[in-house]
């Protein structure tokens, strides 16, 4: 048993190979936080039904469109819903999510042109978390 609070973390930041290209975004800074928190892992894109690897996507006009022009908004919404359910079930009030992702990004995301251009905005899961008063930080802010 432990009294540590639960915190949601993007699974790719913990080294899971769930990124669109089959790799991960391992972030060693998170190791220290393990002393303070129990990590509850999410990967909204995979949990929303998308494969590994998958075609990268960006948000444009409120929809999530992959680089081949396919609308994958439904998968992103489903993944966000499941992530929120997990967060609420585990009493998570905070999340550390991967910067710039169309699911997990917070404050800055790519602009939908697949040209690495950033604009102000949140990923689909981050937006839903914020609507339910779950604080979101990226790995760049910790």
| Nearest residue (CB) to ligand SF4, 40 versus 104 | 104
The number of residues in the chain equals 142
- 7 three-state secondary structure: strand
| Nearest residue (CB) to ligand SF4, 2 versus 111 | 111
121 binds ligand SF4 (CB under 6 A): no
Of the residues 7, 8, 14, 18, which one makes contact with ligand SF4 according to CB under 6 A: 18
Least gap, CB of 7 to ligand SF4 (angstroms) = 14
| Nearest residue (CB) to ligand SF4, 60 versus 82 | 82
115: exposed, middle or buried (C-beta count within 10 Å: 0-12, 13-18, 19+)? Answer: exposed
- 84 three-state secondary structure: helix
Please give the full DSSP string across 87-124, using - where no structure is assigned. Answer: HHHTT--EEEE-TB-TTT--SEEE-SSSSS-EEE---H
12 binds ligand SF4 (CB under 6 A): yes
Least gap, CB of 12 to ligand SF4 (angstroms) = 3
Any idea which residue has 């008063």 for tokens? 133
Total residues interacting with ligand SF4, rule: CB under 6 A = 12
């Amino acid at each position: 048993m432990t009294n540590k609070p639960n915190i949601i973390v993007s699974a790719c930041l913990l080294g899971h190979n769930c990124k669109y290209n089959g790799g991960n975004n391992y972030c060693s800074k998170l190791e220290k936080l393990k002393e303070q928190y129990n990590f509850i892992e999410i990967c909204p894109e995979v949990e929303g039904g998308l494969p590994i690897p998958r075609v990268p996507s960006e948000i444009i006009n409120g929809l999530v469109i992959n680089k081949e022009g396919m609308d994958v908004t439904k998968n992103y919404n489903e993944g966000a819903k499941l992530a929120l359910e997990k967060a609420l079930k585990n009493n998570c009030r905070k999340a550390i999510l991967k910067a710039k992702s169309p699911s997990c990004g917070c404050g800055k995301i790519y602009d939908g042109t697949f040209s690495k251009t950033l604009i102000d905005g949140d990923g689909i899961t981050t937006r839903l978390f914020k609507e339910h008063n779950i604080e979101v930080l990226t790995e760049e802010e910790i």
